[in-house]
């Protein structure tokens, strides 16, 4: 996403529509389906435009729709979840085919920017968890105790945790 983020988005005639704010991917894949375009002098208006038929050209993304058509689409809050109702509004506006019914409660399109942020947060959380594990090991060493193995930190099953079974009496 970083290589195209902030690029100009132009219409099928080459007129500038706005600036690329985000890309929405098909859930569970890296297929870019919609672009979130920031428009206006202050950049307060955002619209989604289908990327089918779009071309990446040097310093801009050219979409297959005219400027007025894109700016007539329902406004959209960047980073928001693209719900089924909004998908249907977009399908009607752009006269495109999308799936006709929602698939459970899961979103079918995800913000690339939000996914990048979640991945960064997961990386930071893993890093902090590792730091806490190392700190716990250092405290145990300072107390003269042997640090627990990684499996112990994860709550792995240990044979000594099982209740002792009584041996049947010998005849």
- The closest of 35, 48, 29 to 5, measured between CA atoms, is 35
| Tokens matching residue 165 | 């079974």
**pTM metric for this prediction:** 0.61
Of 42, 45, 46, 16, nearest in space to 34 by CA = 46
Contact 123, 117 (CB under 8 A): no
Q: Catalogue all structural domains in the chain, each as residue range(s) with its CATH number.
A: 8-111 (3.90.50.10)
pLDDT of 29 over the 80 cut: no
- Whether the predicted pLDDT of 83 surpasses 60: yes
Q: What are 6-22's pLDDT values in tens digits?
A: 789 999 999 999 999 88
């Amino acid at each position: 996403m970083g290589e195209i983020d902030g690029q100009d988005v132009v219409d099928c005639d080459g007129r500038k529509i706005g600036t690329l704010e985000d890309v929405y991917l098909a859930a569970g894949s890296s297929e870019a389906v919609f672009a979130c375009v920031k428009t206006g002098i202050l950049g307060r208006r955002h619209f989604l435009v289908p990327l089918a038929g779009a071309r990446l050209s040097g310093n801009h993304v050219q979409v297959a729709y005219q400027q007025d058509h894109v700016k007539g689409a329902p406004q959209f809050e960047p980073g928001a979840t693209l719900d089924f109702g909004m998908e249907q509004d977009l399908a009607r506006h752009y006269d495109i085919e999308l799936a006709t019914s929602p698939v459970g409660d899961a979103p079918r399109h995800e913000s690339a920017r939000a996914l990048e942020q979640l991945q960064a947060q997961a990386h930071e959380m893993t890093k902090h968890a590792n730091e806490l594990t190392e700190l716990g090991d250092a405290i145990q060493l300072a107390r003269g105790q042997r640090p627990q193995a990684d499996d112990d930190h994860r709550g792995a099953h240990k044979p000594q945790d099982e209740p002792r079974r009584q041996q049947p009496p010998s005849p």
